[in-house]
Chain A
Amino acid sequence: MCRRRSPALTLPTVTDDLLLTARDLTKKFGDFTAVDSIDVEVRKGEAFGFLGPNGAGKSSTMRMIASVSPVTSGELRIFGLDPAVDGQQIRARIGNCPQKDLLDEELSVEENLWVYGRFFGLSRAEVRQRASELLEFAQLSERHADKVEHLSGGMKRRLVIARSLINNPELLLLDEPTTGLDPQARHVLWDRLFRLKRQGVTLIITTHYMDEAEQLCDRLVVMDKGRIAAEGSPRDLIDRYSTREVVEVRFDTDEHAPHAAPLEGIGERMEVLPDRILLYADNGDAATAAIAQRGIHPLSTLVRRSTLEDVFLHLTGRTLVD
Chain B
Amino acid sequence: MVGYALWRFVLLRDVLAFRRMWWLFASGFAEPVFYLFSIGIGLGALVQDVTTDHGLVVSYAAFVAPAMLATSAMNGSIADTTYNFFAKLKFSKTYDTMLATPARPWDVAIGEILWSLIRGGIYSAIFFFVALAMGFVRSWWAILAIPACLLIGAAFAGVGMWATTYMTSWKHFEFVTLAIQPMFLFSATFFPLAVYPEALQWLVKLMPLYHGVEIQRGLMLGDVHWGLLGSSFYLLALAAVGLWGASRRISTLLLT
A68, A69, A106 pick with most chain B CB within 10 angstroms: A106
Q: How far is the CA of A319 from the CA of B74 in the complex (A)?
A: 58
Judge whether A119 and B102 touch: CB under 8 Å.
yes
Known: A29-B256, A88-B2, A104-B17. A119 touches B98 (CB 8 A): yes
Contact A92 B3 (CB under 8 A): yes
User: In the complex where A118-B9, A119-B98 touch, is A111 in contact with B16 (Cβ < 8 A)?
Assistant: yes
Count of residues in A whose CB is under 8 Å from the partner chain: 26
Q: Tell me if B6 counts as interface (CB < 8 A to partner A).
A: yes
Say yes or no: is A246 at the interface (Cβ < 8 Å to chain B): no
Most buried by A among B8, B12, B101: B101
Given the known inter-chain contacts A89-B2, A121-B3, please indicate yes or no for A104 contacting B13, CB distance below 8 A.
yes
Partner of B101, one of A100, A111, A119: A119
Residues of B within 8 A of A107 (CB): 13, 16-17
CB nearest to A104 among chain B residues = B94
Q: Chain B residues near A68 (CB, 8 Å)?
A: 96, 99-100, 254-255
CB distance from A35 to the nearest CB of B (A): 13
Which chain B residues lie closer than 8 Å to A233 at the CB level?
none
Q: Which residue of B lies closest to A173 (CB)?
A: B100
Give Cα A91 to B98, complex, Å. Answer: 11
Contact B97 A120 (CB under 8 A): no
Known: A29-B256, A115-B9, A119-B102. A106 touches B3 (CB 8 A): no
B99 touches A92 (CB 8 A): no
**Which residues in A have their C-beta under 8 angstroms from that of B16?**
107, 111, 114-115
Answer yes or no: A136 CB below 8 A from chain B CBs: no
The CA-CA distance from A96 to B103 in the complex, in Å, is: 14
Smallest beta-carbon distance B51→chain A, Å: 49
Return chain B residues, CB-CB under 8 Å to A96. Answer: 100
Closest to A163 in B: B97
Nearest-CB distance from A29 to chain B (Å)?
Answer: 7
Residues from chain A with Cβ under 8 Å of B97 in the complex: 102-104, 116
Q: From residue 69 to 109 of chain B, which have CB atoms closer than 8 A to chain A? A: 92-94, 96-104
- Chain B CB within 8 A of A70 CB: yes
Interface of B is mostly: loop
Query: Chain B, 1-38, contact with A by CB distance < 8 Å: what is the 0/1 string?
Result: 01110101100110011001100000000000000000
Interface flag for A105 (CB, 8 Å): yes
The CA-CA distance from A116 to B96 in the complex, in Å, is: 12
For residue B256, which residues in chain A have a CB less than 8 angstroms away from its CB?
29, 69
A116 touches B2 (CB 8 A): no
Minimum CB distance partner of A115 in chain B: B13
Asked whether, in the complex, the Cβ of B103 is within 8 Å of the Cβ of A119, the reply is yes
Cβ contact within 8 Å between A91 and B102: yes
Chain B nearest CB from A263 CB (Å) reads 48
* Cβ distance B47 to chain A, nearest Cβ, rounded Å: 45
Contact of A115 among B12, B92, B102 (CB under 8 A): B12
Contact with A along B229-256 (1 / 0, CB 8 A): 0000000000000000000000000111
* A284 at the B interface (CB under 8 A): no
Q: A118 to chain B: which residues have CB within 8 Å?
A: 8-9, 12
Q: Is A213 an interface residue (CB 8 A)?
A: no
Are the CB atoms of B101 and A120 closer together than 8 Å?
Answer: yes
Any B CB within 8 A of the CB of A56: no
Tell me whether A66 is interfacial, beta carbon within 8 Å: yes
Q: Say yes or no: is A177 at the interface (Cβ < 8 Å to chain B).
A: no
Q: How far is it, in angstroms, between the C-alpha of A69 and the C-alpha of B101 when the chains are bound? A: 13
Write the chain A residue with the least CB distance to B99: A68
Complex Cα distance, B100 from A104, in Å, reads 14
Min C-beta distance of B131 to chain A, whole Å? 33
Are A106 and B6 in contact, with the CB atoms below 8 A? no
A116 contact set on B, CB distance < 8 A: 97, 101
Interface digits, A60-85 against B, CB 8 Å rule (1 contact, 0 not)? Answer: 00000010111000000000000000
Within 8 A of B (CB), among A93-134: 96, 98, 100, 102-107, 111, 114-116, 118-121
A147–chain B nearest beta-carbon distance, Å = 8
A66 to B96, CA, bound (A): 12
B98 contacts across to A, CB distance below 8 A: 119
Whether the Cβ atoms of A106 and B103 lie closer than 8 Å is: no
Q: How far is the CB of A97 from chain B (nearest CB, A)?
A: 10
B9: chain A residues within 8 A (beta carbon): 115, 118-119
Residues of chain A whose beta carbon lies under 8 Å from any beta carbon of chain B = 29, 66, 68-70, 88-89, 91-92, 96, 98, 100, 102-107, 111, 114-116, 118-121
Sample (5) of A-B pairs whose CB atoms are under 8 Å apart: A91-B102, A92-B3, A102-B93, A114-B16, A121-B2
Given contacts A98-B100, A120-B102, 18 further A-B pairs with CB under 8 A are: A66-B100, A68-B100, A88-B3, A88-B102, A91-B100, A91-B101, A92-B2, A92-B3, A92-B101, A96-B100, A100-B93, A106-B92, A107-B17, A116-B97, A118-B12, A119-B102, A121-B3, A121-B4
